[in-house]
Structure 1
Amino acid sequence: MEVLIVDTPEEAAAFAASAVLDGLRAYGTGNPVLGLATGSSPLGLYAELAAAAQRGEVDFSAARGFALDEYVGLDDTHEQSYRQTLIREVCNVIGLPESGLNVPNGNGETVAQIAEQAAAYDEAIKAAGGVDVQILGIGANGHLGFNEPASSLRSRTRIKRLASQTREDNARFFDGLDQVPTHCVTQGLGTVQEAGRLVLIATGSHKAEAIAAAVEGPLSASCPGSVLQLHPDAVVVLDEAAASRLKNRAYYDDAAAGLQFGI
């Protein structure tokens, strides 16, 4: 795992975008395949990717994107559905076509139908050649996607109950807590781990405890983010506030300096 710590959220966005672009070059075999996260943490990263596209460093016009998750029972035309959120915050920003955006289907007449659609989502990722780079945020309780604490570290895309804290955190986007869906369809932690590179960005002191548990804590379903420790190419980009509870800070800074020859 590579841990990069910078002064500000703006710098974190720039470094995380560079990690994404490097990952696309390393793992991509044609048109980019991106794993897409919602939330406030990756917004600056997406803006940096848009700037890179404008400079001609990358072209997302034929890219495919796979969302991490979607609410159960929320129509995909709903303003707060993750399909509509990603259209606003990613497609319209970096130039990824809506036709290339894939989002789990959280609607169906039965639980079994939604479960079948979830399994089909994993198959669609495989059919696309796999995700080149998965962009991630982390919840205050350590969740990745909507993999709440106690999620299996090898889980696949499936229906998941949202934690009370997650629903409370997301209530600001709805007309009250009672309007927030109770369930979601989320990529599993096993699904996420199949991406070529993972790039997690976190900023702010409210993420510091979750980051410390994910990066330096034991590998545990109690902190789903700790699954990053299993991945051969995971990059974690933090601002000072999010990194404030890390114990091995000096080493991360030394490692980030890189290997120098001729000294």
Structure 2
Amino acid sequence: MMDLIKEFKVDSLKVFVYENRAAMGVSAYELYKQKVLQMMADRKENIRAIYAAAHSQSDFFEALANDREIDFSRIDAFHMDEYMGLGDDAPQNFGNFLKNRIFSKKNFHTVNYVNPSAKDISAECKRYEKLLREAPLDIVSLGIGENGHIAFNDPHEARFYDPQWVRETSLDVVCRQQQVNDKEFSHLDEVPETALTLTIPALMSCTTVIGVVPDIRKAKAVYETLNGPVSEACPASILRIHNDATLFIDKDAASLLAI
């Protein structure tokens, strides 16, 4: 693999460390493609895929958008999480991010968005959960937040055994500051305090998990994910007990690891 610095395993989680984020993103795409093509070869049903919207995923999405081997007309796509209160047209909306990066560039069989502007949020959560539960979920591509979150499951509200698959949640200050750090918002007070998110059991139900985590700002979260206890205090640590999870990181994100 190009620019691969090291590969290792922590519990069940496979970890690949790359020299730079471009190599990391392309390599994550290569594994994603391999997994999806194998799933398509093994059965007739459409593949059900969940996508995270974050700048950390940009290199992965660029490679995916340039793909010429995957039949996207056999993929039902799902949106992982979304801010509440911004309005449908806000450029910061994760649905708009995904539409711009990948959903508008490939002929997906379906693209399924969660609607944070629904008048009845409880009903919206149930609607989206029903869609997710209609058939097994196959593959999810995700990042890890600076606070160790996956999707918008911040440590203070993350639940490894949540009975719901979609819920309204509050965002902690570290999570909200990350959105400023990503230059999506100018000031902390502009960042919404609530969101809709897929829960950890929904993400963990996917047959395959591919994590893409670059940047020095993620180094502490990566360290805790791999070296701390498997605990809701670092939600991403749950990836260590998934049957088929792989984490792709660049050397900056790996800077606190002994490698």
- TM-score bracket relative to the smaller structure: 0.7 to 0.9
Does residue 61 of structure 1 match 2:76? no
Percent of pairs with identical residues = 26
Secondary structure of 2:122 counterpart: helix
Does residue 106 of structure 1 match 2:116? yes
Does residue 205 of structure 1 match 2:212? no
Structure 2: runs of 5 or more not aligned: 1-12
Structure 1: runs of 5 or more not aligned: 250-263
Cα-to-partner distance string for 1:216-253 (whole Å, 9 max, x where unaligned): 21111100101101210000011112112224x4xxxx
TM-score in terms of structure 1 length: 0.84
Amino acid at match of 1:103: Y
Does residue 238 of structure 1 match 2:244? no
Cα-to-partner distance string for 1:73-100 (whole Å, 9 max, x where unaligned): 232232222221111111134x144x72
Secondary structure of 1:207 counterpart: helix
Going by fraction, where is helix more abundant, 1 or 2?
A: 1
Equivalent pair of 2:84/2:117 in contact (CA under 8 Å): yes
Q: What is the correspondence of 1:128-167 to structure 2 with a 5 Å cutoff?
A: 129-150=135-156, 151-155=158-162, 156-167=165-176
State the alpha-carbon separation in 1 of the partners of residues 94 and 204 from structure 2: 21
Give the equivalent residue in structure 1 for 2:3. none
State the alpha-carbon separation in 2 of the partners of residues 241 and 177 from structure 1: 25
State the alpha-carbon separation in 2 of the partners of residues 34 and 134 from structure 1: 6
Going by fraction, where is strand more abundant, 1 or 2?
A: 2
Equivalent pair of 2:154/2:171 in contact (CA under 8 Å): yes
Give the equivalent residue in structure 2 for 1:260. none
Secondary structure of 1:64 counterpart: strand
State the alpha-carbon separation in 1 of the partners of residues 115 and 85 from structure 2: 9
Q: CA deviation at 1:40?
A: 1.0
Does residue 126 of structure 1 match 2:126? no
Judged with a 3 Å threshold, the aligned counterparts in structure 2 of structure 1 residues 3 and 61 are, in CA distance, closer, same or farther, namely same
Give the equivalent residue in structure 2 for 1:36. 51
Equivalent pair of 1:82/1:103 in contact (CA under 8 Å): no
Give the equivalent residue in structure 1 for 2:64. 49
Q: What is the correspondence of 1:76-87 to structure 2 with a 5 Å cutoff?
A: 76-87=88-99
Instruction: Tell me the matched-pair count.
Output: 239
TM-score in terms of structure 2 length: 0.85
